[in-house]
Chain A
Amino acid sequence: MTKSIKLSITGKGMIYVCLYVIASSIYISIFVKLLVFLNMIILSFFAIIASILSDRKTLYQYISVLIFSGAKKKTILFCTRTYILIRVIPIFLAYTTLFIYFNFYLITIITGLTYVFFVLYLSYPIYKAIKK
Chain B
Amino acid sequence: MRKVIVIVRNVWKYYSISGKMVAVLKNVNMYMYRGEIVCIHGPSGAGKTTLLKILAGLERPDQGEVIVDGYNLTLLDDDDLASLRANVISYIPQDYGLIDDLTVYENIEIPLMIIGLEDEERRSRIVSLLEYMGLRGRENAKVKLLSGGEKQRVAIARALAVTPSLLLADELTANLDWENAKKVLEMILRISKDFETSIVMVSHDPRVLEYAHRKYVIYDGVLKEVS
Contacts and interface: CB of A to CB of B under 8 A. Distances in A.
A64 B93 contact: yes
> Interface residues of A: mostly helix, strand, loop or mixed?
helix
A65 B110 contact: yes
B22 interface: no
Given A70-B85, A72-B82, A73-B79, A58 B99 contact: yes
Interface stretch (A3-11, A22-30, A34-42, A102-110): A3-11
Given A3-B102, A64-B97, A69 B85 contact: yes
Contacts of B93: 64, 68
A4 to B, nearest CB: 11
Contacts of B115: 70
Given A72-B79, A73-B78, A65 B85 contact: no
Contacts of B79: 72-73
B interface residue count range (under 10 / 10 to 19 / 20 to 34 / 35 or more): 20 to 34
Given A61-B100, A68-B97, A75 B114 contact: yes
A98 interface: no
Most B-side CB within 10 Å, residue of A3, A11, A57: A3
A interface residue count range (under 10 / 10 to 19 / 20 to 34 / 35 or more): 20 to 34
Contacts of A70: 82-87, 111, 114-115, 162
Contacts of A89: none
Interface of A: 3, 6-7, 10-11, 57-58, 61-62, 64-73, 75
